[in-house]
């Protein structure tokens, strides 16, 4: 599985010219919880943010993200009600509909094969608890609500939580 912290920060390379187009600054997530694209860092003041649609990415490697050419770069217009930035999830608390706190989102997981759908979330209960007990993983629940301050999941999602085993 790929996780968001492996992707954010990688350089984006145009394989046609070998030119670096920027770095992945964030991952754009659609309202149906799948990857819509990557947001590139802004290199100049007052420049419009640029993004690459997920379907235009050739590969996410250990050291770089590759795209076919600079022609796939698009300006990000704010019709972006269709998606949100993944970084906005980092640290956001996850609760069940009955108000039980499950943890804070630390990482988001995607399939290795460049699949769009989010597989699940890595949850933290804070630094000390992470050291003592480890972090937890929860697969993407069937129903999930992104709120302004929290992510809400069904009560049944608690049964899906697994401890992450360090390797």
Q: In which band, very low, low, confident or very high, does the pLDDT at 80 lie, cut at 50, 70 and 90?
A: low
Domain locations in the chain as residue ranges: 2-86, 88-163
CB-CB contact of 72 with 22 (8 Å) = no
81: pLDDT strictly greater than 70: no
**Residue 86 Cα to chain centre, angstroms:** 4
pLDDT digits (tens, 9 = 90+) for 146-166: 998 999 999 999 999 988 866
pLDDT at 167 over 70: no
Mean pLDDT of the region 42-65: 86
- Residue-level pLDDT at 165: 67
Q: Are 94 and 107 in contact (CB under 8 A)?
A: no
Name the token pair of 18.
């070998």
CATH, domain range 2-86: 2.30.30.240
Do 2-86 and 88-163 fold alike per CATH?
yes
**In this predicted model, what pLDDT tens digit does every residue of 96-142 receive, in sequence order?**
999 999 999 999 999 887 778 899 999 998 877 777 777 899 999 99
Superfamily holding 88-163: PRC-barrel domain (2.30.30.240)
The whole model's pTM is what?
0.86
The arithmetic mean of pLDDT across residues 90-99, rounded, is: 95
């Amino acid at each position: 599985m790929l996780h968001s912290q492996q992707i954010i920060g990688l350089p984006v390379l145009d394989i046609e010219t070998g030119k670096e187009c920027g770095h992945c600054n964030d991952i754009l997530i659609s309202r149906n919880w799948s990857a819509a694209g990557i947001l590139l860092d802004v290199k100049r003041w007052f420049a419009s943010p640029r993004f690459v649609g997920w379907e235009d990415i050739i590969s996410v490697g250990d050291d770089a993200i590759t795209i076919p050419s600079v022609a796939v770069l698009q300006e990000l217009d704010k019709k972006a009600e269709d998606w949100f930035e993944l970084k906005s999830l980092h640290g956001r608390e996850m609760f069940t509909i009955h108000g039980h706190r499950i943890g804070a989102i630390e990482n988001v997981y995607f399939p290795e094969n460049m699949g769009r759908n989010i597989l699940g979330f890595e949850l933290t209960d804070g630094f000390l608890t992470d050291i003592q007990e480890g972090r937890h993983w929860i697969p993407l629940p069937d129903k999930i609500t992104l709120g302004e301050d929290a992510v809400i999941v069904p009560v049944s999602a608690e049964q899906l939580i697994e401890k992450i085993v360090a390797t």
